[in-house]
Amino acid sequence: MSYELIAALMFSTMLLMMITGQRVFGAVGFVAVVFAMLLWGEGGTDMGFSSIMKLMKWNALLTLPMFVFMGYVMSESRLASDLYRMFHVWFGPMPGGLAIGTILLMVLISAMNGLSVAGMAIGATIALPELVRRNYDKLMISGVIQAGSSLGILIPPSVVLVLFALIARQPVSQLWLAGIFPGLLMATLFIAYIAIRSWLNPALAPPISAEERATITRGEKFALLRAGLLPLLIFAAMMVPFVKGWTSLTESSVIGALTTVGAAMLKGRFTREVFEVATRNTLAITTMFMLIIMAALSFGAVFDGLGAGRAIRGVFLEDLGLSRWEVLILMQLSFLVMGMFLDDTAMLVIVAPVYVMLAKELEFDLIWYGILYTITCQIAYLTPPFGYNLFLMRALAPPEFDLPVIYRSVIPFVLVMLLTLVLLMIFPQIALWLPETIYGR
C-alpha cells in the first residue's frame, strides 16, 4: 500500500470515528497508535510516550489553567455586571446603544480570559435579560451575544492561539500580538453594522427612555467609568511585563490570574463557592486540552512520517497546477465546511498534521496563518448545523429563542467575519505589523 493511500486511510478513519460521536482525543489517539504499530511494529508504541514527554516539557502549557481560571473567576464573581452597567449608562441613550455596549463588553471580557464560553455565559446571563426588557429584536439580541462572545478566541490572551502555538511551534507572544488588531477590526465592523442597522430601523434596537435617562446623574456616569478600568488594569498587569521582557509567558499568566482574584476580593465577591466552581471547571477543561494536544502530537508524528504534507503539496501544486494563493483559499473554504460539523479543537487536530505543514511548504507566514485559522474557528462557532455557540445560546437563552431564530440571527455577523477574513488575506500587515514592530520579525 502506498504512503499516500495510508495517509488517506488514517484521515478518513479519524473523521469517521468523530462523526460517530467518539471523543476527539480518543478518536485521534486511537488512530495514531494503531497505525503507528501497524507501520513500525513495537517501536511505534514509543510515539505516544514521546508525545507525553514532549507535552510535559512545554512550559507554555502552564498558561492554559491560568487563563481558564481567570475567565471563570470573572464570570462567577459577577465582575462583568459592573462593566455592563457602565455601557448601559453611557451607550443606552442611542439607538442600538446597548447592543454596541454588549460588543464592547465582550472585547473587555476577552482581554481577561480568552475563552468563548466565558463570554457567552456572561452575555446570556447579564446582557440578554436587559436587552429583552428593552424590547430589542430577538434576532439582534441573539446575533450580538453569539458574535461578541466569539471574540474571546482572537483577542489575547486567547486559549485557542496558545494551542495553535503549541502544535505549530510558533511563539505565543507573537500570535497574541498578531490577534489584537484583527480582533479590534472585527469588533469595529460589528459595531458599524449594529449602528447602521439601528439607524435605518430604530425599532430593532430602541434607546432607553428619556425618563430613565433623567434618573442617571452626571456623577454616577463618571463613577461607573472606574468599572471600565478594571479589565484594562488586569490586561496591562499581565501583558506589559511580558512584552517588555520582564516576565515569561507563564509568569505573566500567573500575574493575570492573581490580579483577577485580587479584583474579585476587593469587590467582596471571591467566595468559597466561586473558588470551588472556578477550580473544578479549570481542571476539567485543562485536562481535556492536554489529552487533545497529546493525541494530536501522536497523530502528527505518524502523518509526518508518511510524508503526507509533501504528498498533498504535490497534488495541489503539481498535479492540479494550483497557485499558492488558490491552495490557501481552498484550505480556508475547507475550514468553513469542517466548521459546520466539528469544533475548534477537532479542527486544530486535523489542521496540525496537514495544513500547518502545507502552509509552511508554501512559504506563508505561520503567525499570519494562525490568525486566519482562528477567524475560521470563530465562523465555525456560528455556522449551522452544529456550531458550538448556537447550541450554547439555545441552552442559556429563554424558550422564545428557538433554533430557527438563533440560526437566522448569526447570518449578518458571519458575513462580517468573512469580510474580516478577506481583509486579512489581502492585507497581512493588519496582523503582522504589531509583532514585527515589537519583535523585529
Task: Encode pLDDT of 28-84 as tens digits.
Answer: 788 888 888 888 877 777 776 777 777 777 776 777 788 778 877 877 777 767 777
User: Can you list the positions of beta strands (E) in 83-220?
Assistant: none
CA distances in angstroms from 359 to 62, 355, 402, listed in the order given: 27, 6, 40
Residue 367 has what pLDDT?
Answer: 92
Task: Encode pLDDT of 127-178 as tens digits.
Answer: 788 788 888 888 888 888 888 888 878 887 777 887 788 778 888 888 888 9
Say which residue the cell 489529552 belongs to: 291
41 secondary structure, DSSP code: G
| pLDDT at residue 185 greater than cutoff 90 | yes
260 vs 223, more confident: 260
End-to-end CA gap in the chain: 43
Span 307-331, average pLDDT: 75
- Locate 347 and state its grid cell: 479542527
d(CA 101, CA 92): 8
Task: Encode pLDDT of 360-380 as tens digits.
Answer: 878 889 999 999 988 888 887
